[in-house]
Amino acid sequence: MRAILLIGAIFAIVVAPMAAPWLQFVLTMAIAKGLAALGVAVLLRAGMISIGHAMFFAASAYGVAFLARGGVSDFGLLLVLSVAITGLAGAVVGAFLIRYRAIFFAMLNLAVSMVFYALFAKLYGVTGGTDGMTIPVPTMFGIVLSEPTFKAILFYGSVALMVVVGLAVHRYLDSPLGHALSAVHTNEVRLEYLGVPVWAVLLVAYIVSAVLAGLGGAIAGFAIGRVVPDFAFWTASGHLVLVAVLGGIGGVPGAFIGAFFLELLHTEAAAFTDAWNLIVGAALIGVIMFLPKGLYGLLTRSEVSAK
C-alpha cells in the first residue's frame, strides 16, 4: 500500500510541471532541500540534531561555482566533484564533532556553519561576498544546452536522483550499520560492549549526511544559477531540521514529504500574505502536537491500522 502511494506520488511529481510549468522550479528546490533534510534526518536517527548542515549545502554549491570558474563545464563532473569535496569536508568536520552529544553537538555544528558563512560573506575577492557567485548553465557530454532545456533535465534528473539516493539510504538504514546508528541513541554502552566502534558508526553517518546535503546544495545552485552566503546561514540549517521533523524521521520518504509540503505551502502562502511564516509555523505546531512521527507517520499509521 505504502509503495503504491509512493510510486503514485513520484508519478504526480513527474507530470505536475507539464500541467503547471511554474512548479518545475518549486519541485526542483523541494527535492534539493529534501535531500539535505534527509542528511539531517540520518543524524536524527542517532538522536543528534545538527543546526549547521546548511554549511554542506552551501559548500557544494560554492564548489560547483568554483569548479565552473576553473573551467569545468560538464554537469556530471561538476556534480560528482562538488559532492566529493563536500563529503571530504564532512569527514574533516565530522571527525571533530562526533565526539559531542546533545546540545553541544547541535551548537558546535551551528558554530562551524557560521564560520563557513562568515568566510563566504567576507572573502569578497574570492567568493564575491554577499553578491555570491554565478553558476553558469553547464554542458552535458559536450553538448551546449539552452537554459530551459537544462532546467528541465535538472528537474527530471533530480527526481531520478531522489529515487536512487532514497533507495540507497533506505538500504543503509536497514543494514547493521544503520541499526547501529539508531542504537547509539538508545544505548551507546551496549554498542561498545558488542565490540562496535561508536565513533566509526557516527563518522560514516556524518559523511553520509554531508554528502546528502551536498547533493541538495549542488542541485539548488544549478536551479537558481547563483550561490550566496545565505545558503550557509543558520536559519537555512534550522529550515532543514524543520523539514526533517515535519516530514518525520521514521523513513526515507519523510524528508521529501516534509520538503514538498513546506515548499508548496510556502509558495501558496506567500501568494496570499507576507506573513507566510505564520502559516508555516502554525502547520509545524500542528504536526508536532498531533503527529509526533511527522507527516510520514500518517502513511505508516494508516498501514498499521489496515493490518
Partner 1 sequence: MSTSILQVRDLHVEFNGVKAADGVSLDINEGEFLAVIGPNGSGKTTLLNLCTGYVRPKSGSIHLDGRAITGLTPRAITRRGVARAFQIPQLFSDQSVLDNMMLALAAKDGLWTMVRPLAQPARREEATALLDLVGLRDDKNRVSRTLPEGHRKLLDIAVALALKPRLLLLDEPTSGVSTLERFSLMEALMSALRSRNITALFVEHDMDVVARYANRVLVWNAGTVMAQGHPDEVFKDERVLKNVVGVA
Would you tell me which residues interact with partner 1 (CB under 8 A)? 171, 174-180, 182-183, 185-187, 189-190, 192-197, 200-201
* Cβ at position 202, least distance to partner 1 in Å: 13
* Cβ at position 301, least distance to partner 1 in Å: 16
Q: DSSP secondary structure string, the chain?
A: -HHHHHHHHHHHHHHHHHH-TTHHHHHHHHHHHHHHHHHHHHHHHTT---S-THHHHHHHHHHHHHHHHTT--BHHHHHHHHHHHHHHHHHHHHHHHTT--HHHHHHHHHHHHHHHHHHHHH-HHHH-GGG-EE-PPPEETTEE--HHHHHHHHHHHHHHHHHHHHHHHHHHHHSHHHHHHHHHHH-HHHHHTTT--HHHHHHHHHHHHHHHHHHHHHHHHHHHTEE-GGGGSHHHHHHHHHHHHHH-SSSTHHHHHHHHHHHHHHHHHHHH-S-HHHHHHHHHHHHHHH-TTHHHHHHHHHHHHH-
* Cβ at position 101, least distance to partner 1 in Å: 17
C-beta of 3 vs 19, nearer to partner 1: 3
CA-to-CA dists, residue 199 to 41, 44, 178, angstroms = 18, 16, 14
* Cβ at position 21, least distance to partner 1 in Å: 41
C-beta of 69 vs 179, nearer to partner 1: 179
* Cβ at position 201, least distance to partner 1 in Å: 8
C-beta of 73 vs 182, nearer to partner 1: 182
C-beta of 79 vs 180, nearer to partner 1: 180
C-beta of 183 vs 212, nearer to partner 1: 183
* Cβ at position 171, least distance to partner 1 in Å: 7
* Cβ at position 176, least distance to partner 1 in Å: 4
CB 175 within 8 A of CB 211: no
C-beta of 8 vs 197, nearer to partner 1: 197
C-beta of 168 vs 285, nearer to partner 1: 168
